[in-house]
Amino acid sequence: MSNEQKITTDIKVPNKDLEALRINFPHCFDKDGNFQLEKFKNNLTEKEINFSTESYGLEWLGKSYARLLASDPATTLLKADETHNAKPENANSENLLIKGDNLEVLKHLANAYYEQVKMIYIDPPYNTGSDGFVYEDDRKFTVKELQQLIGIDAEKAKRILDFTKQESNSHSAWLTFIYPRLYIAKQLIKNDGVIFVSIDDNEVAQLRLLMDEVFGEENFVAIFPWKKRTAKSDVPYGISQDYEWIICYCKNYFNAGFDVERKYYKTDDYPNNRWRLSDLTTQKVEHDRPNSAFDLIDPKSKKIYKYNPKRLWGITKDTFDEYYRKGKIVFPDDYDFLNITIPAFRVFESEDKAKALKKYGSDNAKKSASTYLPKEVGMSEDGNRENFEIFKQKTFSFPKPSSLIKHLLRTIYETDFIILDFFAGSGTTGDAVMQLNAEDGGKRNFILVQLPEPIDPKKNKAAFDFVKTELKAEPTIFEITKERLIRASKKIKTETIDKQIAEKQKEIRDLSSKLDLENKNEKIKQLKSEIKALEQQDLGFKIFETIPIWEDYNFEAELFDSSQNLFDAGKLTEDDIKAILTTWKTYDGIALTQELESIDLSGYTAYYGNGRLYLMLKSFTTDSLKALLEKIDTDKHFEPKSIIAFGYHLESKSLREISENVKTYNNKKKSDIDFITRY
């Protein structure tokens, strides 16, 4: 199959909700694929579900505009810092630091990291009027355009544009700023993942309502009070505001993969063993797990629950009867108090206790997190002290202590997952991840995003001078983030990793000197394995940044012919081509840390990864095509599912030649290959 795509200027966050509606309510879409809301409402009304014109929720000036920002295409490309990324400590790292507006970055990450992030922690601006929060949107819409895009009247459109074009720290501006970021972030979280958001009294009420809307009220977990300082005496009304708040939500309460106090039910049919619900579905699709692609039938009511081809049951048809006999399957009609629409797993409290006993030992068999944060998590002064120890001067005001982030990280069962922080600030989250991995041997990886926000020399002269003079860089917060990670990495290696390695090497020497110690060789082998794991700890990070798409990159593929010169591709540099390739591969679901393989096609270099072959450069010839077809036939490790060509750099003759041959060539592997011309 061959087609053309205009991707570079049309990178949007995928609408998975719309895909779910398309699967379950196909009759509510017209022939052009548009969702018919009224038909959908009528369909539900027929099933006696009533819609009310009034509902409980959070409304503000700019809410519809905030939704537009979440779905609006990205206006940037992604570019790698090749010099930094090539350094030995960074070359194989799975950690990421991305420079740019976090809304843009989240849009770029939406495909490659969809449901890949286990935990998000963010510490956004608090909207205090003095914390530097200024909402000034640079997206260019006229009143008429905004009216058409979000369906509002001219007066409201003008009011929205007025407050987005001026310095504003109103509640409406803050909510408009944070909403699209949380909306996209939710899509990156795994089904058993969580998000923690730090906030103070100024916006905690609004944030709680907003997160109810984005994540669902049923997925609220807790609000953790964090003591940030000791009480002050000289404060208004004599009340010292010593606490901030960390709001926690999960993606799916039934499947939350962290240590929280679970919600158990006590019912008459199981009087001596309380139970909870767990998700019965899995992220596996029909192609990967055909034995789980079946309709579940409630043996009592005979009601049928159809399977979702993109999210199957977590059991096979063969095991359903066994689980049902053991009381492990709960149907929506089984209990009046349940608020579920599809069958779920029943997990007994005795099972949780047994699992906890195995994991934590007899003294801590029922471990769970508490909203009480112990003193060990530290206060603002601890964050200041930690920052000073790294930089030998004050470079950042009131950073969170790494001990706080480590405490939150420990609430996750696993030790191998991705954590995202898109308000990276001084880089505390990345430091905490590396520290905790060094302590417990974990394989957690971080993705940090930080805007290159200029440092004001009047407000923080020390930081300004440090970045400009010592780092010899543009004085921005991003440079502080980057340097914190570099210095923290070296500190962890010296003070933790190297120390542990030396201790284990001494143990090996001591064991080697003993002739008759039982299991000596096995113990030495284990120690050597532990040393190797320590030496392989990921203490590096790769850097990427967003760069603007060129203003005249306005090519419309369907209007193009050889006489037109809408965009001068000749001015694209090698770095520009690499940025387009990085952006495209991320859009195609390939992680930023995954390098594409260079493929030689008779002197022409193509790039290959995850079943996609990219033809980005000029001078693709008939010999290149012959080499490509031969490689498909003979190389068992090379099996592209799609070939993607940069339309500006390949002549129309070459594009036709590739398209025709890919379509008609009967390769020995019998592979179906799509050919895509992309701009």
- CA 483 from chain centre, in angstroms, equals 23
What is the helix (H) or strand (E) element at residue 623, kind and residue range? helix 622-634
Task: Say whether 452 sits in a helix, a strand or coil.
Answer: coil
For the stretch 432-471, pLDDT in tens is 999 999 998 899 999 999 999 999 999 889 999 999 999 9
Question: For 216-285, where are the E strands, in sequence order?
Answer: 220-227, 243-250, 265-267, 270-278
Average pLDDT over residues 205-212: 95
pLDDT-derived band at 317 (thresholds 50, 70, 90) equals confident
Listed by start position, the domains of the chain span: 2-46, 63-134+169-257+370-490, 265-364, 493-540, 552-678
Among 10-14, 114-118, 413-417, 527-531, which range has the highest average pLDDT?
Answer: 114-118
Per-residue pLDDT, averaged over 578-603, amounts to: 96
Please give the pLDDT value at position 129: 67
Between the alpha carbon of residue 623 and those of residues 618, 620, 627, 657, the distances in Å are: 14, 8, 6, 12
The pLDDT of residue 367: 44
- Residues 6 or more apart from 94 whose CB is under 8 A from it? 445, 538, 593
Do the Cβ atoms of 69 and 139 come closer than 8 Å? yes
Mean pLDDT lowest among 37-51, 195-209, 227-241, 472-486:
37-51
Q: What is the DSSP string of 458-475?
A: TT-HHHHHIIIIIS-S--
Whether 344 and 280 have beta carbons less than 8 Å apart is answered as yes
- pLDDT value for 75: 93
- Percentage of the residues of the chain whose pLDDT score is greater than 70: 87
Closest CA to 122 of 172, 165, 185, 206: 185
Lowest mean pLDDT among 43-47, 502-506, 660-664: 43-47
Burial class for 358, CB neighbours closer than 10 Å (0-12, 13-18, 19+) = exposed
Cα dihedral 156, 61, 171, 405 sign: negative
HEC profile of 143-190: HHHHHHHHCCCHHHHHHHHHHHCCCCCCHHHHHHHHHHHHHHHHHHEE
58-109 pLDDT, tens digit each: 899 899 999 999 999 999 999 999 999 999 999 999 999 999 999 999 999 9
How close are the terminal C-alpha atoms of the chain, in Å?
A: 17
Task: Give dist(CA 175, CA 63) in Å, integer.
Answer: 8
Q: Are 77 and 8 in contact (CB under 8 A)?
A: yes
State the Cα–Cα distance between residues 314 and 32, nearest whole angstrom. 34
Predicted pLDDT at 339? 75
Whether pLDDT at 363 is above 50: no
| Predicted local confidence at residue 254, as pLDDT | 61
Q: How confident is the model at residue 503 (pLDDT cuts 50, 70, 90)?
A: very high
Q: What are the phi and psi torsion angles at 271 (to 5°)?
A: -65, -25
Distance CA(351)–CA(359), nearest Å, equals 12
606-631 CB burial, b ≥16 within 10 A, e <16 = bbbbeebbbbbbeebeeebbebbbeb
| Separation between Cα atoms, residue 584 and residue 598, nearest integer Å | 16
Task: Report the top-level CATH class of 63-134+169-257+370-490.
Answer: alpha beta
The Cα–Cα gap between 510 and 518 comes to: 14
How buried is residue 305: exposed, middle or buried, by Cβ count under 10 Å (0-12/13-18/19+)? middle
Q: Which amino acid is at 120?
A: I
Give residue 560's pLDDT band: very low, low, confident or very high (50, 70, 90).
Answer: very low
Tell me the mean pLDDT in the region 644-651. 94
Rounded to two decimals, what is the model's pTM? 0.81
**Which pLDDT score, from 0 to 100, does residue 287 have?**
59
The answer to whether 320 touches 297, Cβ cutoff 8 Å, is no
Q: What pLDDT, on the 0 to 100 scale, is given for residue 369? A: 55
pLDDT at 21 over 80: no
Looking at residue 53, its pLDDT comes to: 52
Tokens found for residue 578:
């690499």
Give kind and range of the element (H or E) at residue 191: strand 189-199
Residue 47 pLDDT greater than 70, yes or no:
no
Contact 245, 210 (CB under 8 A): no
Is residue 176 pLDDT above 90, yes or no?
yes
Tell me the pLDDT band of 45, cut-offs 50, 70 and 90. low
Of residues 415 and 568, more confidently modeled: 415
Pairing of strands 344-348, 329-330: antiparallel
Mean per-residue pLDDT for 21-30?
73
Residue of 19 and 292 predicted with greater confidence: 292
* 545: β partners: 79, 99
- Give CA torsion, residues 556, 558, 559, 560, to 10 deg: 80
Neighbouring C-beta atoms of residue 477, cutoff 10 Å: 23
User: Is residue 142 scored above 60 in pLDDT?
Assistant: yes
Query: Rounded CA gap, 133 and 107, in Å?
Result: 22
Helix (H, G, I), strand (E, B) or coil at 193: strand
pLDDT, tens digit (0-9, with 9 covering 90-100), for 261-273: 567 889 999 988 9
